[in-house]
Amino acid sequence: MKIISYKDAIKEAIQEEMENDPTVFVIGGETKMFGSLNGIEDKFGKSRVITTPISEDATTGLVLGAAMTGLRPIQVHIRVDFMLLAVNQIINMISSAIYSSNGNLKVPLLIRAVVGRGWGQGFQHSKSLHGLFAQIPGLKVIMPTSPKDAKGMIKSAIRSDGPVICIENRWLYWQEGEIPEEDYTVDLNLPECLRKGSDLTIVASSWMNVEAKLASEILCNEHGIQVAIFDIKSTDLTNFEEIFNSVNVTGKCIVADNDWLVSGLSGEIAFHIQKNCFRSLDLPIERIGFEQVPCPTARELEEVFYPNAFDIVRKSEDMLGLKSCSLESYELYSHETRFKGPF
């Protein structure tokens, strides 16, 4: 095993796949991707790291045409928000390409898109939108949280024969973790238990796993509460057995999604759990996510907009009938020390 950052794990995945398969190439309007493609262009040249005009719509169509004719493109967007210019291609064209051919076409393409956060990113640099794409049959949407999953899931996505959208939270880029030295892949649709616990189950996506981990430590220290945390890793809800087993034990569940709640993935997850664990639930399932406004720029408003570990602690205390503990000695995650903007 070795310790590596999320950003470098992505780079390793892409570099190794490009070495192994000459049909893999990277394409996008900006191909530095916050260091997650460091050195790739130097190693493979401009013909395999293609910088395009500012034409997200046409580039996404190009990627689809390339994928169905023998190439394995990786399209990159430095913000999910920019990917919206290509929604026609993603939702009308890519999602139905294999199905409309009765399974005869292969469409091996990966679209990577970064979710911005902090230092005033504002309402057009901060969306996640995994729930929007989760609704469309024919697309797989992944949201790796750890470096190990970032590398393993991106490798799986590049090798798969269908379209995958990878939503990457910018704050995760600095997270470090262990990954195997040898070649490995991680399934695109298997949630993982990050922490065991018998008092409360938290089902989280992307960055909210980091917040949930801090919350679980606080709850353990202050109340002796043991929280189970499950990282959903993708928007696929077909492998939730372990989560159901956990909720059947705890009887209490919070869904913490890095997205808006209204008509979102958190509602779908909550319904899915409720339907399968109805008789074990002590309380209605709770949800935590973005406030239902466009993301503001000013720091004070931004802090209210985003849910954090303290929100999870307070929600958990409510559900467990506990008095609010003091949070004064705890610090929330912040990347202020290393990230002063502007992007």
Partner 1 sequence: MKIQKKTLINLFRSVATIVLSEEKIIKHYHEDNMKTPMHMSMGDENCVSGVVESFKGESFFFGYYRTHSLYLSVTNNMYQFFAELHGRVTGSNAGVAGSMHMTSPDDNLLVNSAIVASTIPLSLGAALSCLKLKNNKYSVVFFGDGAIEEGVFHEAMNMSSLMKLPVVFVCLDNGLAVDIEPNDRQGFKSIKRIVESYDCKYFHSANAAATDIYKISEKAKAFIIEDQKPVFIHLEYYRYLQHIGTNNDFEDSEHIRLLSKYKESGVGFEKKNYRSKDEYKKYLNNKPLNLIRRSARELGLLEDEMEQEIINIKLQIDVDFSRALKDKRPEKKDLFKGLF
Interface residues toward partner 1, by CB under 8 A: 23, 25, 47, 50, 52-53, 55, 57-71, 73, 88-89, 92-93, 97-105, 107, 137-140, 161-163
Say which amino acid occupies 290: F
For residue 241, count other CB atoms closer than 10 A to its CB: 10
Residue 66: CB minimum distance to partner 1, A = 3
Min CB(139)–partner 1 separation in Å: 8
Instruction: Tell me the Ramachandran region of residue 118: left when phi exceeds 0, alpha when psi lies from -120 to 50, beta otherwise.
Output: left
Task: For partner 1, give the closer residue by CB, 20 or 292.
Answer: 20
Nearest approach, Cβ of residue 287 and partner 1 (Å): 29
Q: Which CB atom, from 61 or from 294, has the smaller least distance to partner 1? A: 61
Q: How far is the CB of 142 from partner 1 (least distance, A)?
A: 13
Burial group, residue 293, by CB count within 10 angstroms (0-12, 13-18, 19+): exposed
Residue 123 C-beta: closest distance to partner 1, Å: 23
Distances (CA, A) of 343 to 7, 75, 310, 338, 339: 16, 20, 26, 12, 9
Q: Which is nearer to partner 1, 108 or 264 (CB)?
A: 108
Q: Of the two residues 59 and 250, which places its CB atom closer to partner 1 in the complex?
A: 59
Minimum distance of partner 1 from residue 186's CB (angstroms): 18
Cα 59 to Cα 238: distance, rounded to the nearest angstrom: 32
Tokens of 194: 């990050």
Residue 222 near residue 325, CB atoms below 8 Å:
yes
- Which of residues 239 and 274 has its CB atom nearest to partner 1 in the complex? 239
Nearer to partner 1, 23 or 245 (CB): 23
Question: What phi and psi, each to the nearest 5 degrees, are found at residue 327?
Answer: -110, 10
Q: Which is nearer to partner 1, 68 or 203 (CB)?
A: 68
Instruction: Quote the least distance from Cβ 163 to partner 1, whole Å.
Output: 7
Q: Residue 304 carries which side chain, given as an amino acid letter?
A: V
Q: How far, CA to CA in Å, does 37 sit from each of 76, 141, 185? A: 10, 21, 19
CB of residue 44 to partner 1, shortest distance in Å: 13
How far is the CA of 175 from the CAs of 96, 114, 159, 187, in angstroms?
35, 15, 25, 21
- How many CB atoms sit inside 10 A of residue 100's CB? 12
Between CA 73 and CA 19 the distance in angstroms is: 14
**In the complex with partner 1, which residue's Cβ is closer, 139 or 232?**
139
Q: Say if residue 22 is preceded by a cis peptide, omega within 30 of 0.
A: no
